[in-house]
Amino acid sequence: MPFSIATWNINSVRLRMPIVERLLDEYAPDVLCLQETKVPDELFPEKAFRKVGYPYIAFHGQKGYHGVATVARRPIEVVEKRRFCDIEDSRHLSVTVQAGGKTILVHNFYVPAGGDEPDPEINRKFRHKLDFVAEMNAIRAEHGEVSASVLVGDLNIAPLEHDVWSHKQLLNVVSHTPVETENFEAMRRAGGWVDLMRHNVPPEQKLYTWWSYRAQDWEASNRGRRLDHVWSSPNLVPSFAGYEILRAARGWDRPSDHVPVIARFALD
């Protein structure tokens, strides 16, 4: 079986634990990275994860907002819970996991959404988002003969033209504005990261991982965005065995507005 890593903005892990359990039961990723867990560390549902075969658990949370967690079927070690922009808002967690004779450093990120107004002069949330992405330049795709890196999460930016349902209509909408997409792609390239979801997918093919709650019928309108990402260091590309966007999960009971993405690697 290939080694697999899933990423999912769950929008409250306690509220949506039944569909998290469904994901783990039906797809059994080796590692699951969750964002927007919305729970302080002392209330994280560790017992529920252990019960379904995920005894290795790391979390970085706070009450009611943000938060990230990484759970696994194999041992993980916490490396860092980095603070960005001098704000304690639980948006990063990195762990290591062993696979294929390599120590893989897994970064789990929840980038700020940025509010509604794409002007950093009048919208402090948008300013925070731009500053956060700028600080992500320090996160490099470290790798060596027996090491590699993966970066996943809700990065809240759809960087490419066909990562949104309408490039023209969303150019002035937060998540797809030029200042975001250009800085985002520059940061990814500077860090040496490979965008695995676009690695073998034509640029003109639409890719979405998020559909708004505001849509009366999200499936019929299909106005999505690719806000969730899977990146790796270059030395993992030869073992990359593909990925799956679990679009059907958007229709599960009490769903998140994001769906899981599962990346697989030909590693044991």
Per-residue model confidence as pLDDT tens digits over 161-185: 999 999 999 999 999 999 999 999 9
User: Among residues 66, 92, 128, 258, which one is catalytic?
Assistant: 258
Residue 143 pLDDT greater than 90, yes or no: yes
Angstrom CA distances, 76 to 20, 52, 56, 113, 211, stand at 19, 17, 6, 28, 32
Is 42 annotated as belonging to a binding site?
Answer: no
Structural domain that includes position 134: 4-265
110 is catalytic: yes
213 is catalytic: no
Strand partners, 153: 109, 229
CA distance 24 to 234: 28
Q: Residue 145: pLDDT band by 50, 70, 90 thresholds?
A: very high
Cβ burial of 133 (10 Å; 0-12, 13-18, 19+) is buried
Is 156 annotated as belonging to a binding site?
Answer: yes
Is 162 annotated as belonging to a binding site?
Answer: no
Q: Which two tokens stand for residue 141?
A: 């795709």
154 is catalytic: yes
Is 154 annotated as belonging to a binding site?
Answer: yes
pTM of the model: 0.98
CA distance 95 to 70: 8
Residue 1 pLDDT greater than 80, yes or no: no
User: Among residues 30, 66, 110, 176, which one is catalytic?
Assistant: 110
What is the domain-level CATH number for residue 98?
A: 3.60.10.10
Cβ burial of 41 (10 Å; 0-12, 13-18, 19+) is middle
Is 36 annotated as belonging to a binding site?
Answer: yes
Asked if 255 and 19 count as a contact pair (C-beta separation under 8 A), the reply is yes
User: Among residues 154, 163, 208, 243, which one is catalytic?
Assistant: 154
Q: Residue 18: pLDDT band by 50, 70, 90 thresholds?
A: very high
Q: How many domains does the chain have?
A: 1
Is 9 annotated as belonging to a binding site?
Answer: yes
